[in-house]
Amino acid sequence: MRVRAERLLILPTAEQLAGTRYAEARRGPTEAVTQTGGAVVGTDGSPHGDGDATALVLLTPIPVEDVRAALKANPQIDWVQFPFAGIEAYVPLVRSRPEITWTSAKGTYAPPVAEHALMLTLALLRHLPERVTATSWGQCRGKSLDGARAVVLGGGGIAQEYIRLLKAWDVHVTAVRRRADDVPGADVTVTTDRFDEVLPGADVVMLAAAATDQTRGIVGARQLELMDDDAVLVNVGRGVLVDTDAVTAALAAGKIRSYGTDVTDPEPLPDGHPLWAEPRCLITPHTADTPEMCIPLLDARIRRNLAARAEGRELEGLVDVEGGY
């Protein structure tokens, strides 16, 4: 049964998105809210709408203060949809407004990001970072995923999709997450306090966790020391999960085989940083989920959540306010 006709504020405005790759991203939510009997508000270009919006959808990251201002200008707003999974910059605002339903894009981009993580994993195991710059034949080296042992930090959509892909190679997977619930597809699930315990013996350590107070710096000098010298480390979560100085030193000392990452701390990684010159490091510039990949996936999430709101059903991607993701 339909319970409301949504008045949707979409930010950034059409004028702000004009000429960008996100310009078309407004069309999907506009069509969806119209189909459920609602309307888009704030089409006059006002960054805060016309004061009677009931919901706010973000299509790109915008400053926290702009979100706060939009909420102040539209006191009826009781749902906010973020366009990303990592909401660490917005956590204080989220926690200060418990009366609002907050949803993120967590799980939405799992297929492309997990695919990217798998690409990094295979590239590291086959020594591709060294080979792409080689000018001579070199040694015959490489390691197969078949029958390997992997540790995956995270239990959300990206982690689950990555585990599903690994199973094509009969990989033994230990998942590490904040809660004790089993991660689908994993052979073993342990809580984050046991992360150090499961690192020895892993061929692959993949990070897909959100950035929280508990996960910042979770891979530091101690964890890199616990990993096997032949292990590879992959990060598609957040740069702050890894101590950049520690991983730089570990690679230089041969403590781990290689490091592949789509995220860095700081981000972007400055020109001239030692990691750029490290032959066993593969860095991609936060391209595991490009706009071309993300816009259709985010559009589908927004459409489903608008339909759920209209019909009084639970929304997808509810933010864990306590956990901060």
- Condensed to tens digits (0 to 9), the pLDDT of residues 84-93 reads 998 999 999 9
Q: Is residue 323, in this structure, part of any structural domain at all?
A: no
Q: In whole numbers, what is the pLDDT of the chain averaged over residues?
A: 95
Same-domain check for residues 45 and 144: no
Per-residue pLDDT at 130 exceeds 60: yes
Is there a single domain that holds both residue 94 and residue 167?
no
Tens digit of each residue's pLDDT (9 = 90 or more) over 232-246: 999 999 999 999 999
pLDDT-derived band at 323 (thresholds 50, 70, 90) equals confident
CA 46/CA 145 separation, integer angstroms: 53
146 in a structural domain: yes
3: pLDDT strictly greater than 70: no
Mean pLDDT to the nearest integer, 191-216 = 97
104 and 115 in a common domain: no
Average pLDDT over residues 265-284: 97
Q: Are residues 60 and 168 in the same domain?
A: no
3-state secondary structure the chain: CCCCCCEEEEECCHHHHCCCCCHHHHHHHHHHHHHCCCEEECCCCCCCCCCCCCEEEECCCCCHHHHHHHHHHCCCCCEEECCCCCCHHHHHHHHHCCCCEEECCCCCCHHHHHHHHHHHHHHHHCCHHHHCCCCCCCCCCCCCCCCCEEEEECCCHHHHHHHHHHHHHCCEEEEEECCCCCCCCCCEEEEHHHHHHHCCCCCEEEECCCCCCCCCCCECHHHHHHCCCCCEEEECCCHHHECHHHHHHHHHCCCCCEEEECCCCCCCCCCCCHHHHCCCEEECCCCCCCHHHHHHHHHHHHHHHHHHHHHCCCCCCECCCCCCC
Whether 99 is in a domain gets the answer: yes
Among residues 7, 238, 301, 309, which one is catalytic?
A: 238
Is the Cβ–Cβ distance between 183 and 161 less than 8 Å? no
Clarify whether residues 178 and 259 are in a common domain. Answer: yes
Mention every residue, 6+ apart, whose C-beta is less than 8 A from residue 48. 9, 42, 69, 70, 72, 73, 74
User: pLDDT digit string (tens) for 140-199?
Assistant: 999 999 999 999 999 999 999 999 999 999 999 999 999 989 999 999 999 999 999 999
Residues 81 and 116 reside in one and the same domain: no
For the question of residue 127 being annotated catalytic, the response is no
Residue 48 pLDDT: 74
**Reported confidence tier of residue 271, pLDDT bands at 50, 70, 90:** very high
Phi then psi dihedrals of residue 276, to 5 deg: -65, -30
Q: Which among 309, 284, 320 has a CA at the least distance from the CA of 118?
A: 284
Residue 231 lies in a domain: yes
Question: Which of 179, 186, 245 shows the shortest CA–CA distance to 209?
Answer: 179
For residue 36, the model assigns a pLDDT of: 86
Tell whether 2 is covered by a domain. Answer: no
Token pair, residue 147, equals: 């029958």
Write down the pLDDT at residue 1: 41
Task: Quote the pLDDT of residue 253.
Answer: 97
Domains contained in the chain, number: 2
CB 122 within 8 Å of CB 169? no
Based on the domain organization, do 140 and 246 belong to the same domain? Answer: yes
- 205, 98: one domain: no
221 and 99 in a common domain: no
In a domain, 218, yes or no: yes
pLDDT at 215 over 60: yes
Q: Would 319 be classed as within a structural domain? A: no
Based on the residue annotation, tell me whether 311 is a catalytic residue of this protein.
Answer: no
Whether residue 67 is found in the same domain as residue 193? no
Q: What are the tens digits of pLDDT across the range 95-107?
A: 999 999 999 999 9
Tell whether 39 and 163 lie within a shared domain: no
Residue 114 is predicted with a pLDDT of 98
pLDDT of residue 20: 92
Share above pLDDT 90 across residues of the chain, in percent, rounded to a whole number: 91
Q: Are 263 and 282 in contact (CB under 8 A)?
A: no
What CATH number is attached to the domain comprising 29? 3.40.50.720
Active site residue 216: no
Q: Which of 273, 286, 303, 304 is catalytic?
A: 286
- Are residues 268 and 134 part of one domain? yes
Q: Residue 157 is part of which domain span? A: 110-283
Which one of 31, 88, 225, 267 is the catalytic residue?
A: 267
Q: What is the pLDDT of residues 6-56, one digit of tens each?
A: 999 999 999 999 999 899 899 999 999 998 889 999 876 666 777 899 999
